[in-house]
Chain A
Amino acid sequence: MIVSKRIVLHFPRRLVDRPIVYRLVKDYNLEFSILKAFITPAEEGLMVLEVRGEQKEYDKGVKYLTNSGLRIQSLSQDVTRNEERCTHCGACVAICPTSAFEVDPLTRQVKFREEKCLACGICIKACPPRAMELHF
């Protein structure tokens, strides 16, 4: 079975300069797109990947990453909406590059579809009541 998952990789300082992601292709035949990558001032690396491949190989690949010392999170948990603050105005809808926000045509409420979110963060500051929160 082919799976496609979005994951966040946290590289500890000692692994920042090692070619780890490359092995996903070479050893596990996984495709990936880099959605976001940066190194923090403390020299920890963070990379957001979309990974696609056979479920079995994906599981092995993730095991390899974990064994190498990386911390892995699934992406959907990383951008959240504070439901108390959201006013359902819709300012987020057209600026989201992956259309993760949808207006329900009946209720006119804004739905946040976490599975479509890439955690790019564009919505965070563009939200007037600051209802979108980024957690890594």
Chain B
Amino acid sequence: MAKTIAEINEKIRQGKAVVVTAEEIIEIAKEKGIAKAAQEVDVVTTGTFGPMCSSGAYFNIGHSKPRIKLGGGRVYLNDVPAYAGLAAVDIFIGVTAIPDDDPRNRLHPGEFNYGGGHVIEELVAGKDIRLVATTYGTDCYPRKKLETWININDLNEAVLFNIRNAYQNYNVAVNPSDKTIYTYMGVLKPNLCNANYCSAGQLSPLLNDPYYKSIGIGTKIFLGGGVGFVAWQGTQHNPTAPRSENGVPRRGAGTLAVIGDLKQMNPRWLVGTSMLGYGCNLTVGIGVPIPILSEEILRYTTASDAEIFAPIVDYSEAYPQMKPDILGEVSYAQLKSGKITVQGKEVPTASLSSYSRALEIATILKEWILSEKFLLTEPVAPLPGVESGITFKPLNERPIEERNPSP
């Protein structure tokens, strides 16, 4: 029954493609069986909407008169430092950047109300952003100071470029210690009083394509409300993580680096967020279409929350101290029931990733495809899979010894 992406695109153009979400496919496959479902369904759409720290955006602001060389200088956007170690008027802002005068965790837990993620959200919303820069002068770039409003519509390029998004599975965070802790997984109450998780489970892109059979470099995706592409595997991509029999990783595994034109995106899908006592972030919406090229690819998309397992990790001790121990594994179905059992204790659960918004993304992507606005792309290269042997290594820390000054 093998189909090709070109054949699926032809069906999309003719308005004949059958497109369903990764939630709908579970029931369809149960009803019709894998073989029939694979024949009938052409595309399964996925979605995820969660905080993704390794995100950022780059801009070309255009040249001022006289010219200024921001490269090598300092640049702030609404007081948030941007990276300027590039050409004259190219800058990059990361979502975790915070103003120099932010009190941080000096009064713990710090609030982190405004950072790079919020700058990106406001920029995408069309708001003016205050740019303040200082640098050194040169013969060809004499100006040393710049203070100006910038607006996304005036920028030459505004590109969202996230080097690690859409984690394939994630930890469930708990706190067995006797004091409240403030983490990137939210506020964790002492004595195992809550458990926070962060994945769209059965809707999540890479959990529907566990071996990266269809998602690869060049795959066209929904990104922040616009269209983007998979640029590369994300940082910390770890295809060799332990897997269940259905192929689904039982730990954080694959990741995606994604890129897209910020000018077409929408602040509903790029939300600046603040993690109490931890820092600033951007909650990013991503949806990836999975072309049903074979029964095998379809079978992977039918993994339901009950068949996807995540590790429970102690964020008061094991996580900060880089200890590999886990306190058990739970399925996303258990997590979504509102309660799990950890060390014999019933613990209420909460999610940091919005399932309802993930479903909305999968549905929008489905509508885009059905309305012929969105055609699928053939990956230009695969993501490294299990066979690559790539693993996520810890830092090999080598103390720097003071050398004796030469005589």
Contact surface of A with B, Cβ cutoff 8 Å: 85, 87-95, 103, 107-109, 122, 125-126, 128-130
* B274 in complex: contacting residue of A95, A103, A130, CB < 8 Å: A130
Q: Which of these binds chain A: B8-16, B291-299, B318-326, B348-356?
A: B348-356
Q: Is the CB of B354 within 8 A of A103?
A: no
Q: Is the CB of A90 within 8 A of B352?
A: yes
By Cβ-Cβ distance, the 6 closest A-B pairs, closest first, are A94-B194, A128-B273, A94-B350, A108-B355, A90-B351, A93-B350
Main secondary structure of the interface of A (DSSP, over half): loop
Note all chain A residues with C-beta closer than 8 A to B98.
Answer: none
- B230 contacts partner chain A, Cβ-Cβ < 8 Å: no
CA distance A128 to B115 in the complex (A): 12
Contact surface of B with A, Cβ cutoff 8 Å: 49-51, 109, 111, 113, 186-187, 189, 193-196, 271-276, 281, 283, 336, 338, 348-357, 359
* A89 in complex: contacting residue of B187, B338, B354, CB < 8 Å: B354
Given known A-B contacts A87-B357, A88-B356, A89-B353, A128 and B348 have beta carbons under 8 A apart: no
Shortest beta-carbon distance from A113 to chain B in Å:
15
CA distance A108 to B357 in the complex (A): 9
In the assembled complex, 30 residue pairs joining A and B whose CB atoms fall closer than 8 Å, in A order, are A85-B271, A87-B271, A88-B354, A89-B283, A89-B351, A89-B352, A89-B354, A90-B350, A91-B187, A91-B350, A91-B352, A93-B338, A93-B349, A94-B196, A95-B187, A95-B350, A108-B336, A108-B355, A109-B356, A125-B111, A125-B274, A126-B187, A128-B51, A128-B275, A128-B283, A129-B271, A129-B274, A129-B283, A130-B113, A130-B274
Which residue of A85, A89, A103, A126 has the most chain B CB atoms within 10 A of its CB atom? Answer: A89
Q: Is the CB of A91 within 8 A of B111?
A: no
CA distance A122 to B189 in the complex (A): 12
* B350 in complex: contacting residue of A92, A129, A130, CB < 8 Å: A92
Given known A-B contacts A87-B49, A93-B348, A108 and B356 have beta carbons under 8 A apart: yes
Least CB separation from A90: chain B residue: B351
Beyond known contacts A93-B350, A103-B336, A125-B274: 18 more, CB 8 A cutoff = A87-B283, A88-B356, A89-B351, A90-B352, A91-B350, A93-B351, A94-B194, A94-B348, A94-B349, A95-B187, A95-B350, A108-B336, A109-B356, A125-B111, A125-B276, A128-B51, A128-B283, A129-B271
Note all chain A residues with C-beta closer than 8 A to B359.
Answer: 108
Q: Is the CB of A90 within 8 A of B354?
A: yes
Note all chain A residues with C-beta closer than 8 A to B187.
Answer: 91, 95, 122, 126
Least CB separation from A93: chain B residue: B350
Note all chain B residues with C-beta closer than 8 A to A122.
Answer: 187
CA distance A125 to B336 in the complex (A): 23
CA distance A18 to B50 in the complex (A): 50
Least CB separation from B269: chain A residue: A87
Note all chain B residues with C-beta closer than 8 A to A108.
Answer: 336, 354-356, 359
Given known A-B contacts A89-B50, A92-B350, A125-B276, A107 and B356 have beta carbons under 8 A apart: yes
Note all chain A residues with C-beta closer than 8 A to B50.
Answer: 89
Which residue of B49, B351, B352 has the most chain A CB atoms within 10 A of its CB atom? Answer: B351
